């Protein structure tokens, strides 16, 4: 990690910065994980005084945490600056002056880290502006998801980014990869022969990646109506987690090897069959302020993904996510096959390994055991391992972990363009010929067709 860093946060007063980035940065300060000397420069269109930005950050932390009283707030706030007037190829606003001032304080060799917490359609212009105004050389640049809004837009954005930056400078963030339980997907498998030996089509019946949400979209209606569940969740989070499950053992867990293994298996994703995809929209979505009354945006998607390689041939990956559903969960479940002998009549899908991704993460093992007594009666049982309860565990929230990795220069948990290109190819048929949108009641598990999609299996979360 560089000892001196200027961290530039574009979109510093926006929703993503408030909910995720600023709380993560303050958590790093509390944990002593920031560089020895640093400055955070917020950027936006408004003309905001440094003192007003500091008050804004204080209010954000009071609302979303960690509370300023729980950390080194006085030391933290004096390192917060704001550069107004926007930032574009035509005008840098006051950003160059503020960065120059920070570098006079920290030293001219202070490393630049740019975080683009802004809508994806602004990425190309901001990237070009970084190059135009001399802020790209040697810098690290973090792009939020989605990296592109269509296959064509992805290719155009990728060309723009590579015209200004070397790939080694680019950090495309997908916060599901920063979750403790997601990282345990490969650690548990590769560190334990018990699981490594069964991680294939001979032993696994299906894989379920299930991320229902009971929340709506009221706080970001405009963004969501232009995006939808397929772009916001399927081609990003769910595909990336599927790759974590499905990748071949990498040569090592070093950044390049881990990224290569993840991206390589995405290239084996069979393009989705629209007949095996269910799109839905919850009742009342079009009544939300900011939503088009005729909107056809999907707030739910369930899909059956197939991976065409020797390890996974014939194993369905069932992916599901949606808004205003019956519960909020983030679960990856490896469902093992049911033995056909010597115990007849065993219940289906009773043996499963589940990674609960939310919070600090938890690993669950569902199995069948003999119920103590004189009769041979088999009963289901569950063993749970909360990751936070491991000895000396120090779990970090995903944004905290990923921003820390950016500061370290570790790209292992960030996406690469080859994998993203393959992900867009896999979802292209659904974008070209989207299935008919089905309505579903709020508080339900989505359209009934999603249940049929899992047949002859069943979703293990909720229903």
The verdict on whether residue 218 carries a ligand-binding annotation is no
Task: Count how many residues are written for the chain.
Answer: 463
The verdict on whether residue 45 carries a ligand-binding annotation is yes
Q: Quick check: 366 and 378 in contact, CB under 8 A?
A: no
The verdict on whether residue 16 carries a ligand-binding annotation is yes
Taking the C-alpha atoms of residue 364 and residue 384, their distance in angstroms, rounded to an integer, is 4
CA dihedral 393, 394, 400, 401 (to 10 degrees): -50
- 11: Cβ–Cβ under 8 A, 6 or more apart, which residues? 17, 43, 44, 116, 117, 118
The verdict on whether residue 138 carries a ligand-binding annotation is no
The verdict on whether residue 12 carries a ligand-binding annotation is yes
Phi-psi region of 305 (alpha: psi -120 to 50; beta: other; left: phi over 0): beta
The verdict on whether residue 232 carries a ligand-binding annotation is yes
The verdict on whether residue 11 carries a ligand-binding annotation is yes
Closest by alpha carbon to 187, among 384, 351, 413? 413
Taking the C-alpha atoms of residue 274 and residue 434, their distance in angstroms, rounded to an integer, is 6
Question: Is 237 labeled as catalytic in the residue annotation?
Answer: yes
Closest by alpha carbon to 393, among 175, 181, 173, 177? 181
* Residue of 56, 114, 186, 237 marked catalytic: 237
The verdict on whether residue 157 carries a ligand-binding annotation is no
The verdict on whether residue 14 carries a ligand-binding annotation is yes
Taking the C-alpha atoms of residue 251 and residue 183, their distance in angstroms, rounded to an integer, is 16
The verdict on whether residue 405 carries a ligand-binding annotation is no
Per the annotation, binding residues are 11-18, 45, 145, 175, 179, 213, 232, 323
Per the annotation, binding residues for NADP(+) are 11-18, 45, 145
Per the annotation, binding residues for substrate are 175, 179, 213, 232, 323
* Catalytic center residues: 237
């Amino acid at each position: 990690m560089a000892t001196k860093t200027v961290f530039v946060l574009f979109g510093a007063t926006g929703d993503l910065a408030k909910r995720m980035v600023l709380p993560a940065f303050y958590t790093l300060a509390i944990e002593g994980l920031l560089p020895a000397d640093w400055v955070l420069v917020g950027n936006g269109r408004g003309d905001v005084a440094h003192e007003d930005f500091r008050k804004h950050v204080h209010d954000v932390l009071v609302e979303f945490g960690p509370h300023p009283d729980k950390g080194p707030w006085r030391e933290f706030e004096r390192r917060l600056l704001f550069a107004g007037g926007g930032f574009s190829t035509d005008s840098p606003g006051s950003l160059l002056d503020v960065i120059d001032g920070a570098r006079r304080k920290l030293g001219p060799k202070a490393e630049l880290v740019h975080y683009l917490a802004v809508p994806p359609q602004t990425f190309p212009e901001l990237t070009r502006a970084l190059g135009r105004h001399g802020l790209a050389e040697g810098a690290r640049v973090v792009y939020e998801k989605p990296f592109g809004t269509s296959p064509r837009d992805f290719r155009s954005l990728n060309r723009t980014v590579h015209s200004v930056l070397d790939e080694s400078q680019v950090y495309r963030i997908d916060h599901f990869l920063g979750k403790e339980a997601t990282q345990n997907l490969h650690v548990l498998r590769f560190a334990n022969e018990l699981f490594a030996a069964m991680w294939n089509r001979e032993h696994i019946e299906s894989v379920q990646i299930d991320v229902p949400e009971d929340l709506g979209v009221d706080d970001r209606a405009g963004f969501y109506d232009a995006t939808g569940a397929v772009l916001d969740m399927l081609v990003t989070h769910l595909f990336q987690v599927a790759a974590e499950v499905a990748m071949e053992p990498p040569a090592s867990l070093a950044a390049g090897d881990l990224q290569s293994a993840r991206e390589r298996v995405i290239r084996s994703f069979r393009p989705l069959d629209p007949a095996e995809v269910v799109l839905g929209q919850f009742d009342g979505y079009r009544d939300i302020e900011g939503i088009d009354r005729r909107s056809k945006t999907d707030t739910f998607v369930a899909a059956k993904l197939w991976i065409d390689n020797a390890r996974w041939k014939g194993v369905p990956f069932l992916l599901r996510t949606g808004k205003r559903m019956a519960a909020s969960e983030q679960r990856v479940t490896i469902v093992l096959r049911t033995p056909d002998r010597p115990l007849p009549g065993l219940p289906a899908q009773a043996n499963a390994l589940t990674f609960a991704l939310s919070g600090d993460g938890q690993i669950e093992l569902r199995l069948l055991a003999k119920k103590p007594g004189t009769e041979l009666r088999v009963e289901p049982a569950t063993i749970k391992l909360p990751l936070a309860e491991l000895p000396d565990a120090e779990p970090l929230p995903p944004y905290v972990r990923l921003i820390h990795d950016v500061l370290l220069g570790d790209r292992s948990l960030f996406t690469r363009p080859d994998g993203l290109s393959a992900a867009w190819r896999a979802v292209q048929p659904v974008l070209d010929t989207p299935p008919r949108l089905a309505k579903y009641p709020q508080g339900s598990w989505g359209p009934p067709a999603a249940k049929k999609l899992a047949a002859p299996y069943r979703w293990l979360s909720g229903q």
